[in-house]
């Protein structure tokens, strides 16, 4: 079995279609599958499983070194299914700074008493241990943390979580398995918003969960997906497979460009600070060196000299960077985060998603937008 992510990804979906010899997998949209002794019983009804979803799951499990995977119609659908696996009133621990949509959902479920929630400050060394109790059911972490790109040491968090018997889930959207494999560091489940680097072309919403081993919780998650019908649809699964084939290539390229951009703007006169895990000045750099072995990511935040209005002006002045939310696509994006985000964020912060364009042209574009 090939172990290199470039090879695994390039062959996503298999290299040929058994019935026709086509070198790409067929698109099978059927909602129901014929039963019979000669027919595979793997598929019965599309809400539970279908060949396109399964092809994505196979490659995702291989890339992250897991034993099972489930693909959903969005990252949030996958996150919600994980949360549904928490028993009534169960205790969930998550970081203060994390993907805001996920945290909003955790909070709303805590507000109605469905779960109890403790948020911990991941910059405070003792905070996670304090947040965990013997009753903690689920520890959700994200690293690097959106939008400050702070690092959480996965192996340390796993050790603390497992000490109290919690299931540890890692949102590794920003650090796909080209650079970080949380299951190798002891995590129970990896989460990816496949909307981002996995698909990479800003045209599919999808979420993937990968399990170290399928246990009772995993069966509950699978049952939730089957009942909600939140499995990814066949055409989206087909597009996602196409995206995955170039994911390592796109991600590696974007990481290299991001490193170059961060190095240039760290010392720019109109910039207060650049937050990028690859910079030695970044507070999480040491952990990043250990944990992001294939590149420091393609996400960074640029804190401009000035206030929110100045940051908004810069975001509106780029020509190559589109002023839009999201990340992980081939096109570079820039966004004034404080205008949209519900978790704490500095007013002068611009979140940048580096795409696969020419890095020198991206540097020139940011330079003209900053001015001076």
Ligand X SMILES: *Cc1c(COP(=O)(O)O)cnc(C)c1O
In this structure, are residues 6 and 177 in contact, taking their beta carbons and an 8 Å threshold?
no
* 220 membership: H or E segment, kind and range: helix 216-228
Torsion of CA 187, 68, 58, 177, to 10 degrees: 0
DSSP one-letter string for 1-44: ----HHHHHHTTT-SS-TTT--SSPPP---SB---STTS-TT-S
Q: Among all residues, whose Cβ is closest to ligand X?
A: 75
Considering only 96-104, 131-139, 212-220, 351-359, which stretch makes contact with ligand X by CB under 6 A? 96-104
CA separation, residue 325 to residues 307, 315, 335, 358 (Å): 20, 11, 6, 21
Rounded to an integer, what distance in angstroms lies between the CA atom of residue 66 and that of residue 191? 12
Residue nearer to ligand X on the CB measure, 123 or 129: 123
Q: Which of 146, 291, 301, 348 is close enough to bind ligand X by CB under 6 A? A: 146
Residue 325 token pair: 């939310």
Contacts to ligand X from residues 27-66, by CB under 6 A: none
Rounded to an integer, what distance in angstroms lies between the CA atom of residue 92 and that of residue 279? 32
Catalytic site residue from 47, 107, 270, 313: 47
Residue 223 token pair: 């049952």
Asked if 147 is part of the footprint of ligand X (rule: CB under 6 A), the reply reads: no
In this structure, are residues 322 and 331 in contact, taking their beta carbons and an 8 Å threshold?
yes
Catalytic: 47? yes
CB-neighbour burial class of residue 129 (10 A; exposed 0-12, middle 13-18, buried 19+): middle
Q: Which of 101, 283, 294, 306 is close enough to bind ligand X by CB under 6 A? A: 101
Omega of the bond leading into 269 within 30 degrees of 0 (cis): no
Residue nearer to ligand X on the CB measure, 174 or 183: 174
Catalytic: 99? yes
Asked if 318 is part of the footprint of ligand X (rule: CB under 6 A), the reply reads: no
Task: Give backbone dihedrals phi and psi of 359, rounded to 5 degrees, phi first.
Answer: -60, -35
Task: Give backbone dihedrals phi and psi of 53, rounded to 5 degrees, phi first.
Answer: -65, -40
Considering only 14-22, 70-78, 177-185, 290-298, which stretch makes contact with ligand X by CB under 6 A? 70-78
Asked if 176 is part of the footprint of ligand X (rule: CB under 6 A), the reply reads: no
Q: Which of 68, 76, 160, 169 is close enough to bind ligand X by CB under 6 A? A: 76
Contacts to ligand X from residues 193-212, by CB under 6 A: 193, 195-196, 205, 207
Contacts to ligand X from residues 241-300, by CB under 6 A: none
Q: How many CA atoms lie within 13 A of 135 on its CB side?
A: 9
Compute the least distance from the CB of residue 99 to ligand X, in Å: 3
Asked if 169 is part of the footprint of ligand X (rule: CB under 6 A), the reply reads: no
Catalytic: 273? no
Residue nearer to ligand X on the CB measure, 194 or 304: 194
Catalytic: 213? no
Q: Which of 33, 43, 99, 140 is close enough to bind ligand X by CB under 6 A? A: 99
Asked if 102 is part of the footprint of ligand X (rule: CB under 6 A), the reply reads: yes
Compute the least distance from the CB of residue 209 to ligand X, in Å: 12
Residue nearer to ligand X on the CB measure, 141 or 369: 141
Residue 129 token pair: 């241990």
Residue nearer to ligand X on the CB measure, 63 or 170: 170
Omega of the bond leading into 147 within 30 degrees of 0 (cis): yes
Asked if 122 is part of the footprint of ligand X (rule: CB under 6 A), the reply reads: no
Catalytic site residue from 64, 137, 153, 171: 171
Residue nearer to ligand X on the CB measure, 62 or 143: 143
CA separation, residue 92 to residues 30, 38, 79, 212, 364 (Å): 38, 46, 13, 20, 45
Residue nearer to ligand X on the CB measure, 33 or 95: 95
Compute the least distance from the CB of residue 32 to ligand X, in Å: 28
Catalytic site residue from 43, 99, 198, 276: 99
Supply the residues annotated as catalytic: 47, 99, 171, 196
- Interface residues with ligand X (CB under 6 A) are 74-76, 99, 101-102, 142, 146, 171, 173-174, 193, 195-196, 205, 207, 327
């Amino acid at each position: 079995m090939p172990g290199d992510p470039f090879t695994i990804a390039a062959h996503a979906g298999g290299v040929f279609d058994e019935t026709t010899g086509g070198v790409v997998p067929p698109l099978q949209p059927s909602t129901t599958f014929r039963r019979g002794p000669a027919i595979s019983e793997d598929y019965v009804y599309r809400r539970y499983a279908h060949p396109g979803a399964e092809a994505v799951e196979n490659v995702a499990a291989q890339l992250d070194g897991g034993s099972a995977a489930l693909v959903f119609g969005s990252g949030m659908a996958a996150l919600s299914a994980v949360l549904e696996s928490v028993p009534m009133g169960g205790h969930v621990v998550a970081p203060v700074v994390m993907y805001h949509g996920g945290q909003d959902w955790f909070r709303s479920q805590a507000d109605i008493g469905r779960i109890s929630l403790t948020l911990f400050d991941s910059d405070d060394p003792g905070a996670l241990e304090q947040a965990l109790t013997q009753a903690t059911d689920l520890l959700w972490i994200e690293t690097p943390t959106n939008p400050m790109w702070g690092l959480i040491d996965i192996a340390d968090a796993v050790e603390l979580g497992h000490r109290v018997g919690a299931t540890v889930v890692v949102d590794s959207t920003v650090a796909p398995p080209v650079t970080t494999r949380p299951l190798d560091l002891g995590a129970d489940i990896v989460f990816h918003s496949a909307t981002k680097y996995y698909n990479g072309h800003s045209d599919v919403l999808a979420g993937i969960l990968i399990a170290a081993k399928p246990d009772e919780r995993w069966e509950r998650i699978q049952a939730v997906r089957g009942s909600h019908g939140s499995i990814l649809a066949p055409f989206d699964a087909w597009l996602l497979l196409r995206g995955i084939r170039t994911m390592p290539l796109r991600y590696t390229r974007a990481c290299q460009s991001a490193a170059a951009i961060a190095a240039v703007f760290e010392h720019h006169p109109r910039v207060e600070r650049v937050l990028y895990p690859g910079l030695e000045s970044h507070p999480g750099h040491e952990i990043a060196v250990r944990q992001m072995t294939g590149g420091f990511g393609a996400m960074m935040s640029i804190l401009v000299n000035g206030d929110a209005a100045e940051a908004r002006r810069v975001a509106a002045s780029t020509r190559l960077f589109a002023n839009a939310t999201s990340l992980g696509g081939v096109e570079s994006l820039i966004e004034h985060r404080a205008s949209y985000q519900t978790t704490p964020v500095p007013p002068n912060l611009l979140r940048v998603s580096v795409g696969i364009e020419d890095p020198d042209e991206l540097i020139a574009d940011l330079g003209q937008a900053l001015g001076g």
